[in-house]
Structure 1
Amino acid sequence: MSKVDLTSLEWCELIFKDRNKSYGAYKMRRDLGKRQAAALIIVTVVALVGFTLPRLIRMAMPAQKEEMVEVTRLSTLEEPEIKEETMKKVEPIAPPPALKSTIKFTAPVIRKDEEVNEDDELKSQDELTQTKVQISIADVKGNDELNGKDIADLQEVITQTPEVQKEEPYDMVEQMPQFPGGPAELLKYIAKNLKYPIIAQENGIQGKVILRFVVNAKGYVEDIKVLRSLDPYCDKEAVRVVKSLPQWIPGKQNGRNVPVYYTCPIVFKLQ
């Protein structure tokens, strides 16, 4: 038995022999082969385009990396998880006890005028004014009546100055330190001076570096620490930029300048 082509015109004529060909079924049967061929061609073309179009787009438009530095305002940033540090309480240094000078006391002895030496006589105010004898005042520790020393013989008095301890930075003060020009100028300065590390760009590294530093009582930045690290190269670049910040308006507490902690987020982002 030979194979029958259901889409051939001969088969269609055989089916509709001695029948009403003006009815729509004859026309549908006659054009079945053309419709199947057209549908197959359309499906094939759509499939080829769907598989090759993304590749053609990538070849026509090569990917480009655009460097962009975004600095997030501190007010819109989620508060980082920072361990609370116990502030050291500065104990006041008690002043050293006052030292008292002691002078050896000699009991008076009554003698005749001829037995009194001229140097031992009581001097008048005019004689004391004209004399070249130096009168010194000094505090001597450990003198007593029996082993008294002449204060004028002492060449040097040594005084001990208490060590001045460095004031611990504040977390919050009445007037927080401010960058010259305000937060907007701070963002501009960081965006202008920050350089995206080339190694970080090649590795596709992006994200946030959160730094904390101290604005001291004179307005200078010091003691920079990385609270949230991103990449060693990005961390190093963020520290470099913050270290280059110019002098700030220092924070104040009770009307005096004090050191204050300041947290600054820096965002590295590729587009």
Structure 2
Amino acid sequence: MAKDVDLSSKEWRDLIFEGKNKDFGAYKLRQGSESRHNKAFFYVLIGLVAVCLLIFGYMKYEAYKTQKAEEEAKAKLEQQQKLAQMEAEKEEEKEEEVEQIEIEEVKPEAPQLATQLMTELLLTDTPKEDNEIKANEDIQKDNSVMSTFTQAGSDDINLIKEHKEEVVQEKPREEKKKEEVFTHVEQMPKFPGGDAELYKFISNNLNYPAMAIENNVQGRVVVQFVVTKDGSIGNVKVVRSVDRDLDNEAIRVCKKLPKFIPGKQNGQPVNVWYTLPVTFKLQN
């Protein structure tokens, strides 16, 4: 038998069924086998293409869902930060209204030393006007009159010396300049990896307080802290409270945050206030 013989060809069928009944049975099956094979191959090919399209479409849909969720989370975060920033500014305004003006400490005055003012009136023999003559007559009664003014005080010589040295050596005090903390800068601080990584870190490190779970307490705690020039976190405080346990947990997690990319003003790193909402939500 030659290798190039087509087993599905008409010649091969006629050779096999030579002298046999060709109206039904195996001959008919062999006669339609080529068409069936072609249809089966076509259907399988269509099925494979459909499966590939479904897989590709599903992957695209999942990527779209992920991107949309990230965009919504970013937009929500920006909105929450704006609201939290507005609330923080209102709180600061209230604090500034209530806060008393600090008065510089005044150095106590040195003790007043004892002094005595003495005025001596001398008598003259030459009379002048009548008023002066009468005055001289009154004065002559006691020959001389001493006018004395005494100021009470301390006679301590050491105290006088100290006071003298203090006055001579006194120098103007130098006020220490406090580093300014900005609220808005040209380049705001950023968490490495973006907001998605920031919330991922918070989600992985946040422990829902047991007492809050028992009391079904949930809500959003707004925390504010300073991102320093080197990216470190400091001055963590709650500007919008929900519950003491939730507040403490939010502060604890914020203090664990790694270094940020510091904010910049005029190209220089500066200290910047950063507002972060931390949401506590119980799963049903």
Name the TM tier (shorter chain). Answer: 0.3 to 0.5
User: TM-score, with normalisation over the residues of structure 1?
Assistant: 0.44
> By percentage of residues, which structure has more helix?
2
